[in-house]
Amino acid sequence: MAWLLIDNSNTRTKFALADAGSLTDWRRTLATAVVTPASLADITAAVDFSAVMVCSVVPAKAVILKNFFETRCPLHFLSHESPLGMDIDYPLPDQVGADRLANAVGVLTRHGVPAIVIDFGTAVTFDVISAQPAYCGGVIAPGLGAMSGYLPQKTALLPAIELIEPTSAIGKSTVHAMQVGAVFGYRGLVKEIIARIRGELPGRPKIIATGGDAALIARGVPEIDAVDPDLTLDGLRQVAARVFPCD
């Protein structure tokens, strides 16, 4: 029987089925704003699963998920108290987001450690996993969407833009100039943070990107070794294998 994995983030909530060996091809996504008992009933109506594993960074939606699933099957919310397969070298482990812990678990077996995981979502997070292995901490910065969306909200003449690869560094229109500032400027932020972390982390860490804007930004950041869109979900799967052992 499969497990239902749920990655409940600020913008989107992803659903996947998995077993002890791998993720399956079944995937669904909802805008987090529309996660309700009705939408959950609809999205799970035609699938079979024996347990549910959740990582959530949206408390109000976590309550909805808990109330919907807890009477139906075994349910586990990932936290620092879950069986992660690594230590946590962090003074206040309860403050580490569940999605960040899932990424750390995923990178350990999929890519190896030491590692830096960069998750490009509503916020961009950098998570550092030592060779021990242990989760060591990281960085939180505004996501690319937040940076690019701020100017249209706070200025009278600057428009909303599509985030695409700029054709040159010298903008030839307002939109082009904003795309340069967003994409090239954001890559500069990423490179500087990577350089600072490398200076403090022993060894030669692998740098793995995931999340919605990962592919776009990674094209111009050679320091990134791989883009892994399934990293968070597979980290959830690995924890599920420890929480819900097969018979």
Q: List, by residue number, the catalytic residues.
A: 99
What phi and psi values does residue 202 have, to the nearest 5 degrees?
Answer: -60, 150
Which pair of tokens denotes residue 187? 């890559």
Residue 224 · residue 197 · CB < 8 Å:
no
| Paired strand residues for 13 | 8, 30
Q: Burial code of 35-61, b = ≥16 C-beta within 10 A, e = fewer?
A: beeeebeebbeeeebebbbbbbbbeeb
Residue 140 · residue 125 · CB < 8 Å:
yes
Q: How far apart are the first and last CA of the chain?
A: 11
DSSP code per residue over 43-78: HHTT---SEEEEEES-HHHHHHHHHHHTTTS-EEE-
